[in-house]
Amino acid sequence: MRLFGATISGVTMSGYFCRMALFAIGFTWLAAGHAQPQTADALTLGETIQRVTDNNPSLAAYAPRLKALAGERASASLSPPLALNAEADEFGGTNEAQGIDGVELTLALSSVIELGDRPAFRTAIVDAREGLSVAQRRTQLLDVQAKAARLFVELAALQQELEVARQAEDLARQAEETVGRRVSRARAPQAELDRAKAATARASLEVGHIEHQLPTLRTKLAALWGAEQPGFELVDDDALFHPGNAGAFEPLVDALNRNPDLQQLASHERIQTASLRLAQSNARGDIRWRAGVRRLEGSDSTGLVAGVSIPLFSGRRAQGDIAAATARREAARFDSQAAVIAARATLFEAWQHRTHAIEAFAMLRDAVIPRLESALGDTREAYRAGRYSYLELIAARQELIDARLALVNAARRAHLNRIELERLSGAALTAADGDSEHKESDHDH
């Protein structure tokens, strides 16, 4: 495992949502395909997204929900049913109504005429609910994919922190050997050797601490695709040190309309608009009709019967429903506007953090770490020669370790904010292949 690794090869994914995931969450790992992967059996980000997309348990409920909405749409588009009415009058009474000799039998059909194209409005509501469910499914899918990507980045960074910790342990042992030689020659006090041994022990403790964190993160990542055991030891962390470029902000704003959270609010607004139209349609009322034939046994004759029922003042009675539906639509519209403003602010914050992290990464990589490596070598030689104290030696060593940890942290922050940007905008950033200017120099560190 190299501290400043090369990029890894891309991963081809099948299926609509996998393609969408690699486009909407197009992290550096997937685009930086110019070098061999770190290890043959390391889990890649592409494989992680594939497993989560195919097997996450929380996504399984959306298929039956869409089937239920299909059934509701079929019911909503139906016209009012026909009813068969049968009546018997003038029988079982007294005098002339005794028995069934004077019975009057009526057989008729009845139904309702819906005015205002109400079936279309009911169907529009179901369609809007389906759009909302699709947006919710996409939101949850991207949330799960983003969570998996964050855990992947955290694992990659933790693996690199383990490399730094092991380097710190090696440096501590080297310092212990150097101090031991000076003590054996009576050129340094025994206390310096004791401090050097304590520093070595503390460095070993830090290695063990990180090694114990790794299984927890691997288990949490595997749980996202429903696995009880990780089934992998390492994630491919080579591209962690290719954070790419921040890019321009405005293209990200233009892509906000692909944000699934905003699409949910837009679908909710469409639901309220369709509900308002249905309420306005209800103001016209329904015309009920009835038509049939009546048999008069007493006179041995038949006749036709017909009737129409028209509700009165239905427009006035519907005003409350119309006002409520109008208010709900206005509230949904304001919610959408507020969400767009909030999303833009969050997008800008993430873009700013990513920009700063990339700048910090470049400064640490190009200006800080090389000088501290050189300074540590000079300080070690000066300590051996008796010109520097032990405090100066451990200070130089600790500054280099801190800078390397800061480099890992800057790379982590750059990728985590990239995930946030792509989760918010729903689009891959333009500079997905990393900073090619420094790729070759990265291998030298």
Query: For 174-217, what is each residue's pLDDT tens digit?
Result: 999 989 998 998 888 999 999 999 999 999 999 999 999 999 99
Tell me which of 345 and 112 has the higher pLDDT.
345
More confident residue, 99 or 146: 146
Statement: 16-444 belongs to CATH 1.20.1600.10: yes
Please tell me the predicted confidence (pLDDT) of residue 198. Answer: 94
Q: Mean pLDDT, to the nearest integer, of 220-242?
A: 88
pLDDT > 80? residue 170: yes
* Per-residue model confidence (pLDDT) at position 294: 81
Region 331-356: what's the mean pLDDT? 89
* pLDDT band at residue 4 using 50, 70 and 90 as cut-offs: very low
Predicted structure pTM score: 0.72
Task: Judge whether residue 152 has pLDDT over 90.
Answer: yes
Compute the 3-state secondary structure of the chain and give helix, strand, coil in percent, each to the nearest 5: 65, 10, 25
Q: What is the pLDDT of residue 6?
A: 31
At 426 the pLDDT is 65
**Rounded mean pLDDT of 131-150?**
85
**pLDDT, position 299:** 65
Q: What pLDDT was estimated at residue 20?
A: 42
**Residue with more model confidence, 361 or 46:** 361
Looking at residue 368, its pLDDT comes to 96
Report the pLDDT value the prediction gives residue 238, as an integer from 0 to 100: 84
pLDDT at 129: 85
- Reply yes or no on whether the pLDDT at 32 is more than 80: no
pLDDT beyond 60 at 444: no
SS3 36: coil
Mean pLDDT across the chain? 79
Residue 374: per-residue pLDDT: 95
For the segment 348-357, the average pLDDT, to the nearest whole number, is: 94
The token duo for 392 is 């100066």
- The residues pairing with 293 across neighbouring beta strands, listed in sequence order, are 107, 304
More confident: 38 or 226: 226
In whole angstroms, give the CA distance from residue 182 to residue 343: 61
Buried b (16+ CB within 10 A) or exposed e, 292-317: bebebeeeeeeeeeeeeeeeeeeeee
Mean pLDDT confidence for 45-69: 84
Which residue would you say has higher pLDDT here, 352 or 287? 352
pLDDT digits (tens, 9 = 90+) for 268-303: 788 888 788 777 777 677 778 888 888 776 667 787
Q: What local confidence, expressed as pLDDT, does residue 242 receive?
A: 87
Average pLDDT over residues 373-379: 94
Burial of 192 (0-12, 13-18, 19+ CB in 10 A): buried
If you average pLDDT over each of 162-166, 345-349, 434-438, which comes out highest?
162-166
The whole-number average pLDDT for the span 77-81 is: 79
Q: What is the mean pLDDT of residues 28-57?
A: 66
Instruction: Supply the pLDDT for residue 310.
Output: 76
- What's the one-letter identity of residue 35? A
Distance from C-alpha of 85 to C-alpha of 75, rounded to nearest angstrom: 23
Res. 371: pLDDT tops 90:
yes
pLDDT computed for residue 257 by the predictor: 76
Residues 6+ away with beta carbon under 8 Å from 259: 343, 424, 425, 426
As a whole number, mean pLDDT of residues 53-72 equals: 83
What gap in Å lies between CA 13 and CA 70, rounded to an integer?
30
